[in-house]
Amino acid sequence: MPSSNDSTPYQDHTVQRRTALALLGFSGVAFTSSTIAVAAPSDNADSANQRTGRTFQNIAEMRACQDLEVESFVCTLGYYEPGDGGSALYKVEHSLGNRSANGGDVVALRDKKQAMLLPDGPVNYHMFGVQGDGKNDDGKQIKLAHVFANKHRLPIIHRSGEYWIGKTNSIPISTNVEWGNTIFHINEKFNEKAKQRFVVQSSKTAQRIKLDDAQKLSLLKNLRPGVTVLPELAEFKNCLVTIVDANDQIGFRAGAKYKGQSWDREELFYVEEEGRIVGDIAWHFNDYTTLTAYPCDDSYLTIDGGGFLLSGDMPGDTYDGYYSNGIRIERSRTVIRNQWMGLEPGNRDISMQPRSGFYNFSRVFDSTLENIRLIPWEQNRADPKRRVAAGTYGISGARMLNCTFRNLTAEGTWLHWGVFGTNLNKNFRIENCRLNRVDVHFHCWNLTIQDSVIGLRGISVTGGGTLTIENTVEHGNSLVNLRRDFGAKWDGDIRIRNCRLVPTRDRPVTVLYCNPSPVDYGYPIGCARTLTIENLVIDFSYFPESNSPVWLLNLPSLTSPKEENNTFFPTLISARNITVHGRNQGIRLASIPDPYHYQLTKEGRYDGDQLLANCQMIFENIDLEQIAESEPNSSASVHLRLGKTATAKYPEGRGIYPHIRITNCSGVCIYLGGSAANLSVTESTVDRLTAAIDGPLKGSLMLTQCRFLPRVKKGSSPIYALDAELGTHLTNCTLHAPLVDGSSAPTAFDRVGFVRVNRTVRYHQLNTALSNNMLKFLQKQKQPLKPAFIAMLKSHHALEPEKITS
């Protein structure tokens, strides 16, 4: 139904309908998408009207009639034959020079007359002469039906049948559609660039926003991260607004083949009452070149049902751009649901050209796809000569806000490329889906993935805001891949809860993969502002023999001044309850070899008296890898690395100064050489710990209820380097004999370094104990513990003498 503020045309059509019924002398005419029921003539109809009203078996019979009068009304019982679903009501008019007959809503009659289809009730394709014979391009008649329905704001209801679309493109949809079990066969030999087969259009047109100098200055001042109201744009309520500065380039894409490709600085948001906006603002703007409002329709358009079988054989063997083959959505508040898309039975995707997405979204707000099956397309074929030269997509889009994808299925193998490929996608939601890939190239902002399964191509994004992944299974060697070509950037919070990562290759695994290229992307880059991982399972059921390492976070060194000056780091890294299934080998925590140049939202510092932390790292109840024996001070064979292999200088106002807390982790190996940190380890087994390189750690060590059980190679160098300028504290800890080359070596106990039996106790210690095996060894060696040594193990202050003198 039309909106209340624009109902006159619909009322006129209703009057025409009633007039027609009276003229035809029918007491009732009921139209549906498949039948027309005609009642007996009315007793009140005069003879003239009876003579004027005519009923025909089909369109051909109506066309053949020689005595139809202008202004008369006629009815057909079918398009080709009675009961074929094409029954309709027409008004006879003189032919006009600017009105061509099309066999649908304008039917050519004898004597330069035309039958004009009357607009009342739902429209179906039979009324326009679809054939469904596999030869006719039914797209022509389908397009006529939608043009007519759009003009008169009538729904399309066509719930069954099979139809073939050949060369026809750009079929416009502006009203609700019920396709039910209708199947469309699409011949991809006729696919074109930038011309989808169907286009969901808005009834409203975009408009440039023109502000005077004062308004523009005020807008630029207010448009910044955190803003929620823009009073300068209050009059543009119910509009999606884009602001673009074409003179300010960002998002430079790394890679020689992209030749400096970049994006204009751009934002999009929706304006509510009094200038309240929906959509976080990520950028600051110094100026803009265009400011555009896209009015949103004030109702939801729904497309329900339908199946699509594609031929898979686009022409051309040389890449020359992206081709379209499905539905383009240009209207906000569009809901598409209950559809199936795939290849014709027996066909394969043999195209050498990439597809831009069967569903393609452009400048839309609050739109939804749900209950849909589609396929990703072939790309990485075994024959290099048959590989598609670019990514090829099932769903694509740009400038999307508040779009939801629910209960979608699109799975494939390594042969297939991503089903998703989008840009400028904000408040992006995926719920209960099974997809081979989720991909936002440039500027995703706020992404939620819940209750889903993500396939081999994984989650590949850049952007910011809040990235939430919950109750989701990822099949791949990274759970989140921050796209290297756009800076491996997530400028916001990452939350991973109750998920399962299933590695698919016997290669290194990284939960959050972040490895940017050393180029200037035009904006700050970094792996997150905060990172929280809870209740994660790494499942090696497919590769139980795998020995490849698993990292939560494995960062590269910063290699260029641009990186050093423009890279941020999380203020919080929290990982709890992480387990490994399918193999005995656990995981590693984080490698941060260059903590000196990062920018954090809070400034940290160390002044020799205290460390002001600007970052919290929390690792609790994590199934750690048992790292093979190595040299004591190795920076490579560790679970947690922070710092270089030598002392490095922190620039003023930069660098990571963390407070690290590790709880209930077995066999932990830590390297903090050359860094500044406070480390607290509780209820854990400490394999190796190197805190001091070229001098004490700039910070403190707190070890509580820990067991020291080192696993090292044969040698004589001290195993632990625990010197810390702010003190080293051991409370209720137990010291074990080292395992040297896999065997217990009580004779190597003195390599522990900070305790030498009956000779030395260093640092602050409270209730330190020797393991039972170590005590048995001393008893066997008839080496009793001196009371002074026992007393120092019980309580020793770092300011007290370290050596046992009696």
pLDDT tens readout for residues 284-317? 999 999 999 999 999 999 999 999 999 999 988 8
pLDDT of residue 28 exceeding 50, the answer is: no
For 51, 620, 636, the CA distances from 681, given in Å and listed in that order, are 99, 10, 20
Share of the chain above pLDDT 70, in %: 93
Q: How far apart are CA 597 and CA 678, in angstroms?
A: 18
pLDDT tens readout for residues 759-800? 999 999 999 999 999 999 999 999 999 999 999 999 999 999
User: Per the structure block, which two tokens stand in for 103?
Assistant: 């066999």
- Report which listed range, 39-43, 316-320, 340-344, 563-567, is most confident: 340-344
pLDDT of residue 5 exceeding 90, the answer is: no
pLDDT of residue 34 exceeding 50, the answer is: no
pLDDT of residue 25 exceeding 60, the answer is: no
Mean per-residue pLDDT for 483-488? 94
pLDDT tens readout for residues 604-638? 999 999 999 999 999 999 999 999 988 888 899 99
The interaxial angle of helices 139-152 and 8-24, nearest 10 deg, is 110
Mean per-residue pLDDT for 15-34? 41
Check: CB of residue 701 under 8 Å from CB of residue 720. no
pLDDT of residue 127 exceeding 60, the answer is: yes
pLDDT tens readout for residues 409-443? 999 999 999 899 999 999 999 999 999 999 999 99
User: Per the structure block, which two tokens stand in for 78?
Assistant: 């079918």
pLDDT tens readout for residues 86-107? 999 999 999 998 899 999 999 9
Mean pLDDT of the chain: 91
CA angle centred on 211, ends 205 and 213, rounded to 5°: 160
Quick check: helix, strand or coil at residue 221? helix
pLDDT recorded at residue 543: 87
Mean per-residue pLDDT for 157-171? 98
221/805: higher pLDDT: 221
pLDDT recorded at residue 806: 72
Output phi, psi for 387, to 5 deg. -80, 140
28/603: higher pLDDT: 603
Check: CB of residue 176 under 8 Å from CB of residue 155. yes
Residue 548: Cβ-neighbour burial (10 angstroms; 0-12, 13-18, 19+): middle
For 156, 306, 339, the CA distances from 180, given in Å and listed in that order, are 11, 5, 9
pLDDT of residue 546 exceeding 70, the answer is: yes
pLDDT recorded at residue 563: 61
Check: CB of residue 491 under 8 Å from CB of residue 474. no
H or E element that contains 792:
helix 787-794
Please report which confidence band the pLDDT of residue 42 belongs to, taking 50, 70 and 90 as the band edges.
very low
pLDDT of residue 145 exceeding 50, the answer is: yes
Can you list the positions of beta strands (E) in 318-391? 327-329, 334-343, 356-365, 368-373
pLDDT of residue 39 exceeding 70, the answer is: no
Please report which confidence band the pLDDT of residue 649 belongs to, taking 50, 70 and 90 as the band edges.
confident
Domain ranges (residues) in the chain: 4-125, 207-295
pLDDT recorded at residue 582: 95
pLDDT of residue 324 exceeding 90, the answer is: yes
pLDDT recorded at residue 7: 31
pLDDT recorded at residue 564: 63
For 137, 199, 316, the CA distances from 313, given in Å and listed in that order, are 17, 22, 9
Least confident of 119-123, 336-340, 731-735: 119-123
pLDDT recorded at residue 256: 83
Q: What DSSP line would sit under 93-129, residue for residue?
A: EE--TT----SSSEEEETTTEEEEEP--S-B-GGGGT
Q: How many helices (H) and strands (E) does the chain have?
A: 8, 57
Q: How far apart are CA 514 and CA 591, in angstroms?
A: 11
pLDDT recorded at residue 15: 35
Residue type, 175: T
pLDDT tens readout for residues 370-386? 999 999 999 999 999 99
pLDDT recorded at residue 36: 36
Can you list the positions of beta strands (E) in 122-214? 156-157, 162-165, 171-173, 177-186, 198-200, 207-208
Give 624's DSSP letter: B
Share of the chain above pLDDT 90, in %: 85
Check: CB of residue 802 under 8 Å from CB of residue 765. no
Please report which confidence band the pLDDT of residue 45 belongs to, taking 50, 70 and 90 as the band edges.
very low
Residue 723 Cα to chain centre, angstroms: 45
